[in-house]
Structure 1
Amino acid sequence: MTEWVLHFPTWELIRFFGLLSYFMLFTGVGLGICYSMPGWAPKTKGRLYKIHSAASVSGMFLGVFHAMLLVIDTYMPFSWGELLFPFTASHSPLLNGLGTITAYGMVAIILTTDLRNKLNKKVWRAVHLCSYPTFVMALIHGMGVGTDTREGWIILFYVFTFTAVTILLIARAFLGGKRNLAHSTGRR
């Protein structure tokens, strides 16, 4: 009955879902930064938020699926303990531990966003700002243990995504956001 699992192209799927999860995390972070910038029409801002949320949630689920496939992989299987407890993997414990922490970070960010109205605003904001280190940990994890990292297009992909987030953060710092917009127009 489980024989078909042994013929499943798990290693290819692990790589695919890892890269796709990272891309969705990049999309969620990038759109989250864009969403916080001033000047959007309400309808556009609403669309940005919906895509930001969908990308972030999709990235989390794809990342969890990426990790779950590691359990059934026949080439380099991981135990549930290695996946659930950071830095316990027998292969590259530091880099794989960053992957585990990334998954927990994504879950915490999404759960606290769902509970945003019930949380203290400062607590929600502090957790939500963890999106940036979570993104960087995902990048380091992918670059460090991703078996495709030596391929030119993958390196360009990582460089592009990191550069794009950095540029968006710089632009966000210079443009300000709700606070600066309200302050400059005299509204509070």
Structure 2
Amino acid sequence: MTEWILQLPTWEMIRFFGLLSYYLLFAGVVLGISYSFPGWTPKTKGKLYRLHGAVSVSGMFIGVFHAMLLVIDTYMPFSWYEILLPFAASHSPVVNGLGTLAAYGMAIIILTTDLRNKLHRKVWRVIHFASYPTFVLALAHGIGGGTDTKEGWIFLSYVVTFAVVSILLIARAFLGGKRSLAHSAGRR
């Protein structure tokens, strides 16, 4: 069985699953922001919420698989120590450390979402807002450590995904501010 594993195109798989994990994280963030926009019907809001959760969890598990493949890679193998301890990698420690921190961030966000009803709402919100820095960590890891970043379409996809998240956050901030003012005025 070991021979079969060693014959896998691990380097290509590592790159593929790293990109897939990033794009799923992007989709999860976009769906999470979109879910928070006002005006959705309850049925649509429920579908967005379920899709947001499924995509985010899938992205986390694929990201973990991406890291696990590094252990069996014959081209540039990593030890478990280098994968699990941020900035411990012998190759590009900062960039790879950002990937480790992104993975931990995703795991904490998903775990605390599962425990949402047991946490104080403000605590959960602060942790859940860590989705944005986690997304930026994954982006920086992909740009800095991804060997495919030199491909024009992949670099462009990083720029576009960052721009989409930024635009949605700005739009949400403006809508949230207006909604909060209207909501506050109604409470008086």
Q: What range is the shorter-chain TM-score in?
A: over 0.9
**Count, aligned residues:** 188
1:148 has 2:148 as partner? yes
C-alpha displacement of 1:179 = 5.6
- Cα deviation, residue 134, structure 1: 0.1
Distance apart, 1:178 and its partner CA: 10
8 Å contact kept, 1:38–1:178:
no
Shift of 1:37: 1.0
Q: For residues 64-121 of structure 1, what are the alpha-carbon distances to aligned partners after superposition, in whole Å with 9 as ceiling and x for unaligned?
A: 0000000000000000000000000000000000000000000000000000000011
Q: Does the 8 Å CA contact 1:99/1:137 hold for their aligned counterparts?
A: yes
Could you say which residue in structure 2 is the equivalent of 1:121? 121
- Give the deviation of 1:143 after TM superposition: 0.4
Tell me: CA distance 1:135–1:85, structure 2 relative to 1, closer, same or farther (3 Å): same
* Percent sequence identity over aligned pairs: 76
* Rounded Cα–Cα distance in structure 1 between residues aligned with 2:47 and 2:187: 24
State the one-letter code of the partner of 1:66. H
How does the TM-score come out when normalised to structure 1?
0.96
Structure 1, unaligned runs of 5 or more? none
- Is the CA contact (8 Å cut-off) linking 1:38 and 1:181 kept in structure 2? no
Following TM superposition, by how much is the alpha carbon of 1:174 offset from its aligned partner in structure 2, in angstroms? Answer: 1.0
- TM-score when scaled to structure 2? 0.96
Question: Which residue is equivalent to 1:180?
Answer: 180
1:186 Cα deviation after fit = 2.8
Gaps of 5+ in 2: none
- Note the aligned Cα RMSD (angstroms): 1.7
1:160 aligns with 2:160: yes
Aligned residue in 1 for 2:112 = 112
Partner of 1:45: 45
1:57/1:135 Cα in 2 relative to 1: closer, same or farther (>3 Å)?
A: same
Instruction: Give the aligned residue type for 1:99.
Output: G
